[in-house]
Amino acid sequence: MLKSKDYTTLDFLTVPLRIIPLQTIYSILITILNSLIPAYQTLVVANFINTATDIFKGRVDYSSIYLPIILIMSYIIFTNLIPSITQIIETSAQNKLNATLKKEIALKQVRLEYKHIENKDTQELINRVCSDPIKNFMAGLNNWFRGATLLISSFSLLIIVMSSTFISGIVIIIISVPLFYIAMRTGKKNYEMGMEAKKIQRKYNYLSSILINRDFAEERKLFAYSTPLRDKFDQLYDESSKIENKIEIKSYIHMKSGSMVTLFIVIVIVTLLLPSLHRGEISLGIFIALVNAIYGLVQNMSWQLSSTMYDYARLKEYLKEFSSFTRLSEKKDACVLPADMDSFAFESLEFRNVSFKYPGTEHYILKDCSFILSHHKNYCFVGVNGAGKTTITKLLTGMYDEFEGEILINGKSIRDFSFAEIKGLISVVYQDYAKYPLTVKDNILLGNLTKTDEKRLETIVSEMGLKDVVNGLEFGIDTYLGKIKENSKDLSGGQWQRLAISRLLYSNSKINILDEPTASLDPLAESQVYELFSHVNKDRFTIFITHRLGAAKMADEILVVDEGHIAERGSHDQLMSLKNGKYSKMFASQKSWYEPKTKSVFLEGEG
Ligand X SMILES: Nc1ncnc2c1ncn2[C@@H]1O[C@H](COP(=O)(O)OP(=O)(O)OP(=O)(O)O)[C@@H](O)[C@H]1O
CA distances from 309 to 147, 187, 190, 314, 325 (A): 9, 5, 10, 9, 24
For residue 55, the one-letter residue type is: I
Segment lying near ligand X (by CB under 6 A), choices 71-79, 228-236, 358-366, 501-509:
358-366
Angle of helix 133-164 versus helix 120-131 axis, rounded to 10: 60
Instruction: Say how far apart CA 161 and CA 163 lie, in whole Å.
Output: 6
Residue 414 beta carbon to ligand X: minimum distance, rounded to whole angstroms: 18
Please pick, from the candidates 133, 140, 258, 388, the single residue that binds ligand X as defined by CB under 6 A. Answer: 388
Among 116, 146, 254, 389, which residue sits at the site for ligand X (rule: CB under 6 A)? Answer: 389
CB 140 within 8 A of CB 383: no
Nearer to ligand X, 355 or 488 (CB): 355
Residue 248 CB, shortest distance to ligand X, in Å, is: 42
Q: Per-residue x/- mask for ligand X, residues 303 to 342, rule CB under 6 A?
A: ----------------------------------------
Shortest distance, position 539 Cβ to ligand X, whole Å: 27
Nearer CB in complex with ligand X: 89/399: 399
Q: Is 385 in the site for ligand X (CB under 6 A)?
A: yes
N- to C-terminal Cα separation, the chain: 47
C-beta of 564: minimal distance to ligand X in Å?
8
Question: Of all residues in the chain, what percent are helix, strand and coil, respectively (each to 5)?
Answer: 65, 10, 25
Name which of 346 and 358 has its Cβ closer to ligand X: 358
Burial classification of residue 306, based on how many CB atoms lie within 10 Å of its CB (0-12 exposed, 13-18 middle, 19 or more buried): buried
For ligand X, the closer of residues 341 and 429 by Cβ is 429
Whose Cβ is closer to ligand X: residue 118's or residue 350's?
Answer: 118
- Quick one: 68 or 388, whose CB is closer to ligand X? 388
What residues between 359 and 378 interact with ligand X by CB under 6 A? 361, 365
Report how far residue 396's alpha carbon sits from residue 364's, in angstroms, rounded to the nearest whole number: 17
513 binds ligand X (CB under 6 A): no
Q: How far is the CB of 111 from ligand X (least distance, A)?
A: 19
Q: Does 391 bind ligand X (CB under 6 A)?
A: yes
Q: Name every residue whose Cβ is closer than 8 Å to that of residue 96 and which is 6 or more positions away in sequence.
A: 19, 20, 23
Q: How far is the CB of 526 from ligand X (least distance, A)?
A: 14
- Please report whether residue 358 would count as binding ligand X according to CB under 6 A: yes
Amino acid (1-letter code) at residue 106: A
Among the listed ranges 16-24, 47-55, 384-392, 481-489, the one in contact with ligand X (CB under 6 A) is 384-392
Region of 81-89, 282-290, 387-395, 433-441 interacting with ligand X (CB under 6 A): 387-395
Pure H helices in 374-437:
389-396, 419-425
The Cα–Cα gap between 584 and 572 comes to: 9
CB of 158 to ligand X, least distance (A): 59
Q: According to the binding rule CB under 6 A, does residue 114 interact with ligand X?
A: no
Distance CA 311, CA 135 (A): 12
In DSSP terms, 356 is beta-bridged to: 366
Q: Does 118 bind ligand X (CB under 6 A)?
A: yes
390 touches ligand X (CB under 6 A): yes
**In sequence order, what are the residues at sequence separation of 6 or more whose Cβ sits closer than 8 angstroms to the Cβ of residue 330?**
108, 111, 112, 113
> Candidates 52-60, 179-187, 225-233, 386-394 — which segment interacts with ligand X by CB under 6 A?
386-394
Q: Which is nearer to ligand X, 383 or 550 (CB)?
A: 383
* Helix (H) and strand (E) counts in the chain: 21, 10
User: Does the footprint of ligand X cover residue 517 (CB under 6 A)?
Assistant: no
- The window from 47-55, 122-130, 381-389, 528-536 that contacts ligand X (CB under 6 A) reads 381-389
Which of the stretches 331-339, 379-387, 415-423, 504-512 binds ligand X when contact is defined by CB under 6 A? 379-387
Closest distance of CB 109 from ligand X, Å: 17
Q: How far is the CB of 389 from ligand X (least distance, A)?
A: 4
> Phi and psi (nearest 5°) for 112?
-60, 150
Q: Nearest approach, Cβ of 576 to ligand X (angstroms)? A: 21
CB nearer to ligand X: give 23 or 393: 393
Among 175, 286, 369, 387, binds ligand X (CB under 6 A): 387
331 contacts: CB under 8 Å, gap ≥ 6:
111, 112, 113, 114, 398, 419
**Residues 488, 479 contacting (CB under 8 angstroms):** yes
What is the SS3 assignment for 20?
coil
When the beta carbons of 389 and 441 are compared against ligand X, the nearer one is 389
Nearer to ligand X, 196 or 368 (CB): 368
Does 133 bind ligand X (CB under 6 A)? Our answer is no
Size of the site for ligand X (CB under 6 A): 12
Task: Rank residues 227 and 385 by Cβ distance to ligand X and give the closer one.
Answer: 385
Binding of residue 447 to ligand X (CB under 6 A): no
Handedness of CA 454, 514, 535, 500 (dihedral sign): negative
383 makes contact with ligand X (CB under 6 A): yes
Cα separation, 211 vs 217, in Å, equals 8
123: contact with ligand X by CB under 6 A = no
CA separation (Å) from 101 to 22, 24, 26, 588?
A: 17, 15, 20, 57
- The dihedrals phi and psi of 349, each to the nearest 5 degrees, come to -130, 130
Task: Count Cα neighbours of 10 within 13 Å in the Cβ-side half-sphere.
Answer: 3
Q: How far is the CB of 529 from ligand X (least distance, A)?
A: 18
Give residues in contact with ligand X (CB under 6 A): 118, 358, 361, 365, 383, 385-391
